Amino acid sequence: MFSVDSVLASALETIRLEAESVSKLADYINASFAEAVRVIHEAKGRVVVSGIGKSAVIAQKMVATFNSTGTPSLFMHAADAIHGDLGMIQPDDVAIVISKSGNSPEIKVLVPLIKNFGNSVISICGNEDSFLAKQCDIFLNTTVEKEACPNNLAPTTSTTAQMVMGDALAVCLLNLKGFTDKDFARYHPGGALGKRLYLRVSDMSDANEKPVVSPSSSLREVIYEISGKRLGATAVIDEDGQLKGIITDGDLRRMLEKYDNPAQLKAADILSAGAKSIDGGELATEALALMRKHDISQLIVTKDGKYAGILHIHDLVREGII
């Protein structure tokens, strides 16, 4: 029978057990872990990660994390490996084999074959007395006291421990490689995350119109330029090409409130001096930070110190930066 209290209690118990399994891993970060990091870091080949059942799913996640942080990796299913996929292992590769029990039939067949090839085998295993733990070159312990499953059967805390151990390896390797946000962007060019890491201001502003008026332009000309270029603002540039300021929709509204007869006003009378600007080579995230800091919707974009266009906050929304 459904009970809210029972559901919440079960969820909280699951989270408690999973958290304890992760916390316990601190006891297993030792010289063997450091040796595993060294072997992978110094390997000339790739990291081949293998497992079966739920451990195979964790292996796939580990491969994805390694690849995205600069450690070339590939996934090899343990069952498929002994039916032909062993051919993907090259002489300079390092193998990571993941298993909770370390005694699965496929694992018992696979590990000796990899070792016969001369490749190093690192195990991530929850049983230090298992075949895998005793046959591997480096053993990383992920033993858990209990699965979150009430029958202590479905892999839950054990797979969490495996995944966290893999993340720990990936982060250590990332730090050793001096992997930066620019490197990260190279491997994540798609989606909002990638854009935050590589999209430049000029990538957006260059596609926009470049509204501009002179200080002597009439109010009519100013309104026409702002409306026609659809960026909610126009730059004011003098005859020497120097930026004098910006006029926004907000400046026009404030002008109408201030003057009874604004028809005779010129751009120089209503512009906002000291317009906020940004170089087109800056990241789009820097533009967003500047807009938020000054509570504005447009930025003047410059190139080599000269006016190059306007960036609107809508450009950032469209590209998923916001």
Q: What is the CATH number of the domain that holds 100?
A: 3.40.50.10490
* C-alpha–C-alpha distance, residues 246 and 267, integer Å: 9
Annotated binding site: 77
- Do both 162 and 27 map to the same domain? yes
Q: What is the CATH number of the domain that holds 287?
A: 3.10.580.10
- Do both 87 and 9 map to the same domain? yes
In a domain, 195, yes or no: no
- Do both 206 and 175 map to the same domain? no
- Residue ranges in the chain whose pLDDT is less than 50: none
- 294: which 2 tokens? 């000054």
- List pLDDT tens digits, range 59-117: 999 999 999 899 999 999 999 998 989 999 999 999 999 999 999 999 999 999 999 99
Domain range for 151 is: 4-179
Count the domains in the chain: 2
As a whole number of Å, the end-to-end CA separation of the chain is 44
- Do both 251 and 168 map to the same domain? no
Residue in the structure block whose two tokens are 């190059």: 308
The 8 Å CB, 24+ separation contacts for 225-230 are: 226/252
In a domain, 36, yes or no: yes
In a domain, 192, yes or no: no
Annotated binding site for Zn(2+): 77
Model pLDDT, residue 77: 96
Model pLDDT, residue 189: 67
Model pLDDT, residue 257: 86
In a domain, 187, yes or no: no
- Do both 210 and 152 map to the same domain? no
In a domain, 245, yes or no: yes
In a domain, 261, yes or no: yes
Task: Give Cβ neighbours of residue 105 (< 8 Å, ≥ 6 apart).
Answer: none
DSSP secondary structure string for all residues of 135-204: HSSEEEE---S--SSTTS-S-SHHHHHHHHHHHHHHHHHHHHHT--HHHHHHH--SHHHHHHHH-BHHHH
In a domain, 189, yes or no: no
pTM higher than 0.85 for the full model? no
